[in-house]
Amino acid sequence: MRLVLLGAPGAGKGTQAVFLKERHNLAHISTGDIFRQNLKDKTPLGLEAKKYMDEGKLVPDEIVMKMVGEKLAGFKPDEGFMLDGFPRTVAQAEFLEGQTKIDGVILFDVPDDAIVKRLSSRAVCKECGNVTNIHEHDKCPSCGGELYRRDDDKEETIRQRLKVYHEQTEELADFYRARNLLLEIDATGMPEEVFSRVVETLKND
Ligand code: AMP
């Protein structure tokens, strides 16, 4: 199975990807994670992407498409994956159509106010990448690792990322609805509740 996880930043795509990975044995491809890893390794790609990420803007299509194209080339035809954070523009979605067949696109729906609240308290584990709430934990509840706040989880950058989502990414819902691939999920509430809606929706698909 090959899925696209669509939704605003903070809609819970990464959290749901962890559940889906376990249940369906799908590889998790997060373009944001790939950029952050490149930044940590100080590669030219990471340093270039940082300029856009710090401002809450999208990395240019050509850079992202080249990176994703190389990543997808490493998959055998029978291997499943989830794309998290890609595509984010119509040009990227058209590119993806030329690369592989997608079986479904899950759209995680969360109102903007709830997103701002979620991201303002989001913390990530340095060791295992687990996402948690800074007000509830001072160490990773999963592995005990140190927690950090993402640079782009500042309120001002969150607002900018949401603006970019509404201007450039939201229209992908129509793009995939027209292709009969869109599965819309209410992504408010606890991660486990959201996941049970995902499971139901995939069952009925
Ligand atoms: P994320 O972790 O998905 O929220 O992505 C963090 C940042 O990486 C975004 O705000 C963008 O600057 C950049 N990024 C990730 N995926 C893409 C993409 N598909 N197209 C353009 N920029 C991206």
Do 153 and 122 form a contact (C-beta atoms < 8 A)? yes
Does residue 122 carry a catalytic annotation?
A: yes
Which is the catalytic residue, given 117, 150, 154, 159? 150
Does residue 163 carry a catalytic annotation?
A: no
Do 130 and 152 form a contact (C-beta atoms < 8 A)? no
Which is the catalytic residue, given 36, 88, 118, 197? 88
The two three-digit tokens of residue 66, written as one number: 């080249």
β-partners of residue 105 are 4, 182
Does residue 88 carry a catalytic annotation?
A: yes
- The pLDDT tens digits of the residues spanning 68-104 come to 999 999 999 999 999 999 999 999 999 999 999 999 9
How much distance in Å is there from the Cα of 204 to the middle of ligand 1?
Answer: 30
**Maximum CA pair distance of the chain?**
45
What pLDDT does 141 receive? 94
Number of the ligand 1 atom closest to the C-alpha atom of 60: 21
Number of the ligand 1 atom closest to the C-alpha atom of 57: 12
How much distance in Å is there from the Cα of 166 to the middle of ligand 1?
Answer: 14
- The pLDDT tens digits of the residues spanning 149-178 come to 998 999 899 999 999 999 999 999 999 999
The pairing of strands 122-125 and 147-148 is antiparallel
What pLDDT does 205 receive? 78
Does residue 161 carry a catalytic annotation?
A: yes
Domains of the chain, by residue range, sit at 2-204
Number of the ligand 1 atom closest to the C-alpha atom of 88: 19
Which is the catalytic residue, given 36, 118, 122, 197? 122
Q: Is the peptide bond before 9 cis (omega within 30 degrees of 0)?
A: no
Please tell me the pTM assigned to this model: 0.92
- The pLDDT tens digits of the residues spanning 33-74 come to 999 999 999 999 999 999 999 999 999 999 999 999 999 999
Determine the CATH number of domain 2-204. 3.40.50.300
Q: How far apart, in whole angstroms, are the C-alpha atoms of residue 165 and residue 162?
A: 5
4: pLDDT strictly greater than 90: yes
Does residue 149 carry a catalytic annotation?
A: no
The pLDDT confidence band at residue 204, using thresholds 50, 70 and 90, is: confident
Number of the ligand 1 atom closest to the C-alpha atom of 56: 10
15: pLDDT strictly greater than 90: yes
How much distance in Å is there from the Cα of 33 to the middle of ligand 1?
Answer: 9
Pocket of ligand 1 (CB under 6 A): 9, 31-32, 35, 52-53, 56-59, 64, 85-86, 88, 92, 152, 161
- The pLDDT tens digits of the residues spanning 100-147 come to 999 999 999 999 999 999 999 999 999 998 899 999 999 999 999 999
Q: How far apart, in whole angstroms, are the C-alpha atoms of residue 95 and residue 162?
A: 23
